[in-house]
Amino acid sequence: MPPLPHINRRTFLRNLRRSGLFSPAQLAHARELLPMTDRGRLVARALVEQGLLTRFQAERVLVGRTDGFLLDQYVILEELGRGGMGRVYKARHRTMGRLVALKVLAPELTRTERARAMFLREVRAVAQLAHPNLVAAFDANLVADRYYLVLEFVDGPNLEQLLRASGPLAVGQACDFVRQAASGLQCAHKAGMVHRDIKPANLLVQRRANDGAPALVKVSDFGLARLQEADDEPAGTILMRPNTVMGTPDFLSPEQARSLHNTDTRTDLYSLGCTLYFLLSGQVPFPGGTSIEKLIRHNTEEPTPLEKRRPDVPPPVAAVVRKLMAKKPDDRLQTAAELVRALEPFSVSGSTPWDSLSGSGDNLPDLATPPPEEGTDPVLRAGAGLADPPTLVSGDASADLPTLVPPPRRPGWGRRIVWGGLMVGALLALAVAYGAFLAG
């Protein structure tokens, strides 16, 4: 990755002034704290170390990006992640100062009237959920044809990141994490909501001090999975775009693989079973192969017994995993509350070591990672400057809203979705029929 271009002190401070990050008085005060150097990168590093800029902001000012830090009432501090659902940013409310996770949805998720109506219905339902094991939803809005959600900011890793960093979890900790997730799901299920995309990446662990306080797991992305079915294509297919499926194939229930519409709360329990299998063994139930092959295996095969991959797992815990991952919903545990009770005897609540996962990125060691090119980041193509830096108060609260430019759409998308869906359905039907033939 190419290094950031050289920039001198004067140019950097000019860009900073134009960005609207600081008022003239604040910028004058910041100048007094800067080292006597002509290198703009060292000036940026000093501002980051003093908490006056985030690394995200500093990198963009260094390359001349002087707008795009404001979305409605929220100051964008850094990018947390991106994926098929959109992009997630850490942000701060300009007036309240509250840190939030701001999710800007991919434009195709709300491109039809039906999808937009479903979005509004889902977020209103999610807003009514209140449980310590569910990520809270604070706000939702539309800016320049792009919807965004404002969610509780969870300052910690998701379970996929935690496992990748530390390896398979202790049995008691894995059981406790899944027990907490099930407790949150029980609240949502009672309200008539099904998640449909439960996976380790959607289970966040609240960062706590290493003082013995139990780690807190929160289920995220409630209400977003169904947006992928709100398309103007024929219903009943899980294939949403080339080579991708609705949900995550490694954790998808057999019935959801066949049809998104014929699912109930027990599909989330199957996905929790796959998640517990992953946390204990370090492997997904059906590793290897394509997405379609994984879907077929969820319908026709049994995974390698958990006991073979993790011999120290107590037999009752392995039995819970098998029951959760039963092919037929009627053969599983029927409610999340049942799962909570089943895991309680084996759950060990405790603090989680964060040292190996720490690193906020705000130390700005080299500023060697350039920001996206102009036009690649929908939020950064903006028409407004950042209202507040993390520790200073801005003077202009009436800046224009950003212009969010969606990426160009490829032609022929609808036909590929329809044919892809037919292929998936045909393959699943053949696999199920073959399984029935062998059984007979």
In degrees and rounded to multiples of 5, residue 149 shows phi and psi of: -115, 140
- Give the Cα separation of 388 and 93 in Å (integer): 9
DSSP string spanning 123-174?
HHHHHT---TTBPPEEEEEEETTEEEEEEE---S-BHHHHHHHH-SPPHHHH
R_g of the chain, CA atoms, integer Å: 24
Strands 146-152 and 137-143, by their bridges, are: antiparallel
> Nearest CA to 16 among 79, 58, 73, 70?
58
What letter would DSSP give residue 288? S
Q: Which residues lie below 8 Å from residue 393, measured CB to CB, with a gap of 6+? A: 26
Can 197 be counted among the known catalytic residues? yes
d(CA 267, CA 222): 14
Do the beta carbons of residue 313 and residue 287 sit within 8 Å? no
Map residue 388 onto helix, strand or coil: coil
> From the candidates 72, 145, 176, 197, which is the catalytic residue?
197
Could you list the active site residues? 197
